[in-house]
Amino acid sequence: MDRRQFLTLSPDRRARTSTAFARTDTGIAPYTGSWGTLQLIHLLKRTLFGVSPANIHTFRNLSMQQAVDLLLTPQAAPTPPVNNYGVDDTGVAPGATWVKAPRGDAMLERKRISSYKAWWIGQMINQPASIHEKMVLFWHNHFVTETAMIHDSRYSYQYNLTLRQYALGNFKDLTKAVTLDPGMLVYLNGDRNSKEAADENYARELHELFTVGKGPDSHYTEEDVRATARVLTGFRINDSTITSYFDSTKHDITNKAFSGFYANKVISGKTGAEGASELDDLLGIIFLQPEAAKFICRKLYRFFVYYDIDAATEKNVIVPLATIFRESGYDIHTMLNALFTSEHFYDQLNMACLIKSPADFCVGLCREYSVRFPTDETARYKAWNFLQARAAAMLQNLGDPPLVAGWDAYYQEPAFHELWINTDTLPKRNQLSDGLISSAGTNGLQIDPIFFAEQLSDPANPVTLVNDSLDILYRVGVSDNLKAFLKNTILLSGQSPNSDYYWTSAWKAYKAAPGDAAKKQDIYIRLQALYKYIMDLSEYQLS
């Protein structure tokens, strides 16, 4: 699935790379090339879950900077999930939210967690023209928690809100908020951390997975982990309000010394309520280390651009991007703006080179075809839950990454995103798209191929219809032979290649009498075959 092969380079670049290969020399200088459909859809595909014709129309007349500005607009907190499961012995009526209700027994908690996961899929399905939802998923994979280990749906939902609140804000503030979030405190034992027995679980992950990472230039020590654990002693949870608080009687008031990697800084132990401020001192020390900015920029690069970071990309993209990030005071919006307006982001070699994650595939499929969801709340949650289960079967169970390190495809060398596709998951992807495009649909959901075609620029013209469809549904160019097959064999039903009027006449006949079942069926079955064929090819798996 990796199209970045040596032969894709121009002859002069192949000559230059015979001794030192660099897949691209572009950096984060502002992009000044053409701004057209190719570039726009590339930007939208990477920042949204799927791109519909309506999305493209919204952005069509915007400049690159205007498009990026709109995408980087934060969204308000969403309406919370509700009781879609029926009987609730804590008194939550059907249709009412459970997020502030008392904790239920094990069976009720499983139902609420299912409700929460379905609700989250619903937020992705109904996302506005903003990267916000993609960033919530990114941070969920970065600051991992697992519903299966927290065992409290209210905490998992509250943690999701924390990620949403800071998703496009300040990374240092986000790290502090995550550190104190009840869900994270439970997940990595922070609520048990005390001066009598400092728990190093969260402390270790704060360095290794959340801030400076474990790359070749990251040299935090075991003593740094132990000092961090002592700094973080004393934080506890109020189960009634689902908030955290500081218990000074559980806090280690001794001084905490850090290694040369952190400039041998020492945090003076504090007593009473002041002990809680040692967390600010700790984050101040960590975020002075340049590796923190580079580590986060690498993770964002792999999520939004490409998994392979070679020496040229490290030098031309990661390092200068990390400098922007650090000098902005770790402002996520500023750093993403620099990335999405850079020449590197729009480099041809950075297009159509990522395999869609299961969430991207399942949600994007529904969004790009504008699949209609039930208006009835119970039925709508059922449909959302179906998609969540499909994504989980394809190895991305929202709310429950397999490990604290996140999903393998985002970090596991050397395969990275190729891990999404195997002999089990690829058929499941095809089964979902085949089911949705079928005449009966699946689980109450169905692609309407006529509705999709009607949103294109000139659906009466079979050449334009095929080209417009491929522009939206594929991110990699296809051969003229394939385009001819799609037009002649599918749309023209095997008529001669010069019989474009055959499709045009059928389309116009339908538009003139949309209530005529025979005329509608005539174009429906061919559009259905067209989009089924397109989605079954491997190109549809690329973003």
* Residue 414, preceding peptide bond in cis (omega within 30° of 0): yes
Rounded to 5, what percent of the chain is helix, strand, coil?
55, 5, 40
* Mean pLDDT on 272-281: 98
Specify the pLDDT at position 21.
Answer: 65
Say what the alpha-carbon torsion angle 157, 159, 165, 167 is, to the nearest 10 degrees.
-110
pLDDT digits (tens, 9 = 90+) for 501-536: 999 999 999 999 999 999 999 999 999 999 999 999
pLDDT digits (tens, 9 = 90+) for 377-398: 999 999 999 999 999 999 999 9
pLDDT greater than 70 at residue 354:
yes
Neighbours of 470 (CB within 10 A): 18
Residue 264 falls in which region: left (phi positive, over 0), alpha (psi -120 to 50) or beta:
left
Q: Is the dihedral of CA 20, 22, 23, 29 positive or negative?
A: negative
Specify the pLDDT at position 2.
Answer: 42
pLDDT digits (tens, 9 = 90+) for 99-141: 999 999 999 999 999 999 999 999 999 999 999 999 999 999 9
User: Which of 369, 437, 438, 328 has the alpha carbon at shortest distance from 50?
Assistant: 369
Specify the pLDDT at position 459.
Answer: 98
Neighbours of 320 (CB within 10 A): 16
Specify the pLDDT at position 11.
Answer: 39
Residues 355 and 135: their CA atoms lie apart, in Å, by 18
Residues 56 and 455: their CA atoms lie apart, in Å, by 10
Number of residues that make up the chain: 543
Residue 285 falls in which region: left (phi positive, over 0), alpha (psi -120 to 50) or beta:
alpha
Written as six digits, the tokens of 256 are 């905490």
Residues 349 and 42: their CA atoms lie apart, in Å, by 12
The alpha carbon of residue 326 and the mean position of all alpha carbons in its chain are separated, in whole angstroms, by 23
- pTM value? 0.95
Rg of the chain, C-alpha, whole Å: 26
Residues 472 and 44: their CA atoms lie apart, in Å, by 10
Is there a contact between 408 and 300 (Cβ–Cβ < 8 Å)?
no
pLDDT greater than 90 at residue 273:
yes
| 10 — pLDDT class (breaks 50, 70, 90) | very low
The angle, 0 to 180 degrees and rounded to 10, between the axes of the packed helices 358-368 and 106-125 is 50
Q: Is 70 helix (H, G, I), strand (E, B) or coil?
A: helix
Is there a contact between 387 and 366 (Cβ–Cβ < 8 Å)?
yes
| 498 — pLDDT class (breaks 50, 70, 90) | confident
Specify the pLDDT at position 8.
Answer: 41
Q: What is the DSSP letter of 206?
A: I
Q: What is the mean pLDDT of the chain?
A: 95
Portion of the chain with pLDDT greater than 70, in percent: 96
Q: Is 235 helix (H, G, I), strand (E, B) or coil?
A: strand
Listing DSSP states for 242-308 in one string gives TEEEE-GGGS--S-EE--GGGTT-EEPP--GGGGGGHHHHHHHHHTTSHHHHHHHHHHHHHHHT-S-
As a three-state string, the secondary structure of 345-372 is CCCHHHCCCCECCHHHHHHHHHHHCCCC
pLDDT greater than 50 at residue 317:
yes
Residues 149 and 146: their CA atoms lie apart, in Å, by 5
Residues 303 and 306: their CA atoms lie apart, in Å, by 7
pLDDT greater than 90 at residue 316:
yes
Q: What are phi and psi of 238, to 5 degrees?
A: -95, 110
Show Cβ contacts of residue 395 under 8 Å, excluding neighbours closer than 6 positions: 358, 407, 409, 419, 420, 425
Q: What are phi and psi of 39, to 5 degrees?
A: -70, -40
- Containing 236, the helix (H) or strand (E) segment is strand 235-238
Is there a contact between 325 and 334 (Cβ–Cβ < 8 Å)?
yes
Is there a contact between 355 and 1 (Cβ–Cβ < 8 Å)?
yes
Largest CA distance in the chain: 86
Q: Which residues sit opposite 331 in a β-bridge?
A: 170
Place of tokens 């922070």: 190
pLDDT digits (tens, 9 = 90+) for 429-469: 999 999 999 999 999 999 999 999 999 999 999 999 999 99
Angle in degrees, CA 259, 264, 267, rounded to 5: 100
pLDDT digits (tens, 9 = 90+) for 201-234: 999 999 999 999 998 999 999 999 999 999 999 9
Specify the pLDDT at position 198.
Answer: 96
Is there a contact between 502 and 317 (Cβ–Cβ < 8 Å)?
no
User: Which of 358, 519, 362, 365 has the alpha carbon at shortest distance from 447?
Assistant: 365
Written as six digits, the tokens of 304 are 């939004």
Burial class (CB in 10 A: 0-12, 13-18, 19+), 193: buried
